[in-house]
Structure formats: structure tokens, C-alpha cells
């Protein structure tokens, strides 16, 4: 039992005994008891009114009742108020600390609500976009009238982000990313990546220019090698060296071609427009090519949905299909099985290549799409691999909003699956002629 309740009961018992004593002396029991009840009820009502006024924050009652049950209730409420105030002060301090931290972040940060209206922004955003406090509540689309940004805002792809080379009159590269938080609120983070972007552009330009410059001398060397091979007899001592030179020349040409393709992918210099790509027709032609490459040493199974068509870039997609299927042939021993699937489900279109080859250790899987990364350098060189095939596959799939998934076990084989989004699948139920 609390102290307040105990004191209230003590007061009731004591006052009742006093009333009974007065009634015994005056022999006016009824009037004494009525007077006692009136006094008790009046006292409780008075304490109740004071408690209510105190709860409402009246200046006339700065303190709660100090005795009895109402005094105990006042103490408990006051204690809870102090705890809540302490918690509110802590939360306010954390909020102010967070806002102060966001103000010194070099990246521009803008918070928007579900209707894309600006809620707050940090100092970097204020400087970059020349914002004022009166811009709070303004639509974000009116702040940045860029078609690519408007499209990005509608599609909302936070993982991919958006890179703009000009922003609000600044000829610099910026990366824009949206992050959803707290129900339908979002954060727009704008990062200045001009230095990194410039270095990447220099690297791409160097690779492209160097590859172009290497093509001419390589073509001359290859031509002389072919002439020398044609002029020699099979018993000549130069037959084997010239054959190896021709093989390495062809390999170098393949590396240069892959470098140029990869450079075009990274710099987004493809000039062709998206079109309907009948993957089934591409796979039918590829089936003949890999059969010659295999020299009938592998078992092929092609499960192709001939009605499944996607919208994309024909030549890059050919490169993806060729790379994945030819890799399966290269790394599957004679007598192995290679299964190629092109199918559709509720998530989109899928291209899957499964082989019973040598497999890949798990520690290599995360690095397969890196340029020039090889699991087995010696074997890749012997099979004619350039180390760029899967890097090209990755960039082509990114251009089509697709993803590459790899699963493998050493000695049992590998599975490469390309998942294309449902948005690029074309409804085409007419079989190609």
C-alpha cells in the first residue's frame, strides 16, 4: 500500500473516531455523521479541483495537493512528467546533434515527403542549389528540371543512382541517389564525383585509343605471318613458331576487340536504338557455332522459348549469349553436358547456361566480372580466353537493367543465369519465320 493511500486511511479513521466521539457527547449521531460526510466530500472535491487546475497548468495552483490520495497522485504524475521531460530533452539534443552533423556533411542532402515536397536541407544543398528557407514545401521537380532526374524520381531506383555531368550551371559530375526512410519520406543525396568521374573517363579514353592504335600494327603483323605461313613447307623449322605467333596474334586481336567493346559499354557510346531482339533466332545461330567449336565432343541441350522477345541492343546481347555459352564449352571436358535455357516466368525473362565442367571455387565467384580476372590463368590462356568476357556481360546486363547470378561447385559444373526484368519483355506471340 502506498504512503498516500495509507495516510488517507489514517485520516479517515481518525476523523471518524472524532465524529463518533462528538456524537456520543452531544447524542446527535445523525447530524454529526451528516456533517462528517459533507466535510469529507467537500475536502475531496476541493483537492480534486486543485489537482485538475494543476494538471491544466494553472498559475494559481503551482503545486499539486500535498496530502492524502490526491497528494500521492500528484507526486506520481510529477515524477512521470520529469521522466518524460528528461527523455524529451535527450531526444531534442540528439535531433539537434543529427541536424548539426548533417550540416557539415560535404554531400548535399535534401529531405522530401511523399509528394516530393522539400522538408529540410543541409548547408551543402543550400549552397549547391541556392536554396532559401522559403523553399521548404517547394516541389523537388521545380528545383531540378532535368529530364533524366525527373525519370529517376518517378522510377525510384536507389541502388543504381543517377550521374549528371551538369547540375545547376556547374559543369561537374554529380551522383544523385534517393533513399526511402520513415514511411514515405525520402532523402536525396547529391555527391560530387567529378574527380573520380574524370579519372574513369581518362582510363576509358586511354583504353579505347590504345586499342585503336594497336589494331593497325597488329593487322600488319598478322598479314606478314599469314604470308610467311603460306610460303613455308610443312617440314620447315619455322612452321611451329609461326603457328604459335598466329595464335597469339589472334588472341591479341580478341583482347583488343573486347577492350573496345567494354570501353563502349562503360562510356555509353552505343549509337543504336533499343529494338525487339528475338533471342531464339540468335541462339539458333549460336547453336551451330558452338557445335563447331565443340567438334562434337559435348552434349548440348537447348530449351528455347521461341515466342519470348525482349527489347534491347542486338549486338551487345549477342556478345552476352556467345560469351556464356562459349565459356561453358571451354571449361567443360569432352563428353560433358551443356544445357541452355531461355524462358519466362512472372518475374521476367531468364537466360541460363548450365554445364558439367570443372567448376569454380566459391572464393572466386565474387570477382568473376572483374576485368582480366582469371580463376586459372594458364588454362584461360590455353583456351583462348581474354579475361574480359564476363566484364562485358556485366556491363551489357546493366544496360538492360538485368543481373547475373553464378553458382558453381568444383568438379561438378557451373550455372550462369541472366535475369531480365519484366519491363523489357515484349509480348510477341507470333513465331519468327
* CATH number of the domain bearing residue 149: 3.30.450.20
**Mean pLDDT over residues 172-182, rounded?**
87
The verdict on residue 213 lying in a domain is yes
pTM over 0.85: no
The verdict on residue 366 lying in a domain is yes
User: Of 176, 192, 208, which residue is a domain's last?
Assistant: 192
Q: Has residue 380 got a pLDDT over 60?
A: no
Domain match, 66 and 124 both: no
What is the DSSP-derived secondary structure letter of residue 422? G
Per-residue CA distances from 18 to 9, 35, 40, 187, 223 (Å): 14, 12, 13, 72, 128
**pLDDT at residue 433, as a whole number:** 41
Q: What is the pLDDT of residues 91-135, one digit of tens each?
A: 887 777 777 777 778 898 898 888 889 998 988 888 888 888 888
The DSSP bridge partners found for residue 190 are 108, 176
The DSSP bridge partners found for residue 409 are 413
User: Of 267, 293, 311, which residue is a domain's last?
Assistant: 267
Q: Has residue 36 got a pLDDT over 90?
A: no
Domain match, 146 and 207 both: no
Of 349, 364, 374, the closest CA to residue 408 belongs to: 364
Is residue 283 within 8 Å of 342, Cβ to Cβ? yes
User: Of 246, 267, 288, which residue is a domain's last?
Assistant: 267
Is residue 334 within 8 Å of 293, Cβ to Cβ? no
What is the spatial distance between Cα 398 and Cα 157, in angstroms, rounded to a whole number?
A: 13
Domain match, 283 and 406 both: yes
Domain count, the chain: 4
Domain match, 242 and 140 both: no
Lowest mean pLDDT among 178-182, 269-273, 335-339: 269-273
Domain match, 207 and 332 both: no
Domain match, 280 and 396 both: yes
Q: Has residue 430 got a pLDDT over 50?
A: no
What is the spatial distance between Cα 137 and Cα 115, in angstroms, rounded to a whole number?
A: 10
Domain match, 258 and 363 both: no
The verdict on residue 217 lying in a domain is yes
**pLDDT at residue 158, as a whole number:** 60
Among positive and negative, which fits the CA dihedral 74, 80, 83, 86? negative
Which residue's entry shows cell 543550400?
Answer: 126
Q: Has residue 20 got a pLDDT over 70?
A: yes
Domain that holds residue 12: 3-92
Of all residues in the chain, what percent carry a pLDDT higher than 70?
85
Amino acid at each position: 500500500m502506498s504512503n498516500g493511500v495509507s495516510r488517507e486511511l489514517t485520516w479517515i479513521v481518525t476523523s471518524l473516531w472524532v465524529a463518533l466521539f462528538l456524537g456520543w457527547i452531544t447524542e446527535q449521531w445523525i447530524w454529526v455523521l451528516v456533517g462528517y460526510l459533507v466535510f469529507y466530500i467537500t475536502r475531496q472535491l476541493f483537492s480534486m479541483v486543485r489537482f485538475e487546475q494543476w494538471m491544466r497548468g494553472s498559475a494559481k495552483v503551482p503545486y499539486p495537493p500535498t496530502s492524502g490520495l490526491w497528494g500521492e497522485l500528484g507526486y506520481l504524475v510529477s515524477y512521470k512528467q520529469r521522466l518524460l521531460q528528461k527523455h524529451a530533452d535527450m531526444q531534442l539534443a540528439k535531433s539537434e546533434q543529427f541536424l548539426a552533423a548533417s550540416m557539415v556533411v560535404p554531400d548535399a542532402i535534401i529531405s522530401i515527403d511523399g509528394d516530393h515536397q522539400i522538408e529540410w536541407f543541409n548547408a551543402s544543398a543550400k549552397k549547391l542549389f541556392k536554396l532559401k528557407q522559403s523553399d521548404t514545401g517547394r516541389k523537388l521537380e521545380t528545383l531540378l528540371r532535368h529530364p533524366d532526374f525527373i525519370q529517376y524520381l518517378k522510377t525510384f531506383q536507389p541502388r543504381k543512382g543517377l550521374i549528371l555531368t551538369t547540375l545547376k550551371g556547374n559543369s561537374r559530375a554529380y551522383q544523385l541517389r534517393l533513399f526511402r526512410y520513415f514511411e514515405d519520406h525520402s532523402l536525396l543525396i547529391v555527391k560530387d564525383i567529378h574527380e573520380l568521374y574524370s579519372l574513369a573517363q581518362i582510363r576509358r579514353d586511354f583504353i579505347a585509343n590504345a586499342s585503336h592504335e594497336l589494331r593497325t600494327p597488329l593487322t600488319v603483323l598478322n598479314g606478314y605471318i599469314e604470308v610467311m605461313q603460306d610460303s613455308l613447307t610443312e617440314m620447315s623449322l619455322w612452321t611451329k613458331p609461326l603457328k604459335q605467333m598466329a595464335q597469339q596474334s589472334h588472341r591479341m586481336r580478341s583482347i583488343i576487340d573486347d577492350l573496345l567493346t567494354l570501353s563502349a559499354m562503360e562510356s555509353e557510346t552505343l549509337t543504336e536504338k533499343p529494338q525487339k531482339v528475338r533471342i531464339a533466332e540468335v541462339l539458333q545461330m549460336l547453336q551451330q557455332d558452338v557445335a563447331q567449336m565443340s567438334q562434337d565432343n559435348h552434349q548440348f541441350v537447348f530449351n528455347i522459348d521461341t515466342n519470348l522477345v525482349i527489347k534491347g541492343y542486338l549486338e551487345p546481347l549477342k556478345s552476352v549469349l556467345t560469351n556464356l555459352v562459349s565459356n561453358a564449352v571451354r571449361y567443360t571436358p569432352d563428353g560433358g553436358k551443356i544445357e541452355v535455357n531461355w524462358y519466362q516466368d512472372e518475374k521476367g525473362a531468364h537466360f541460363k547456361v548450365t554445364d558439367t565442367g570443372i567448376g569454380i571455387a566459391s572464393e572466386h565467384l565474387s570477382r568473376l566480372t572483374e576485368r582480366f580476372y582469371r580463376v586459372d590463368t594458364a588454362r584461360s590462356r590455353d583456351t583462348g580466353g581474354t579475361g574480359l568476357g564476363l566484364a562485358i556481360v556485366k556491363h551489357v546486363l546493366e544496360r538492360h537493367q538485368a543481373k547475373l547470378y553464378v553458382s558453381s561447385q568444383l568438379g561438378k559444373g557451373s550455372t550462369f543465369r541472366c535475369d531480365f526484368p519484366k519491363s523489357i519483355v515484349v509480348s510477341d506471340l507470333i513465331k519468327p519465320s
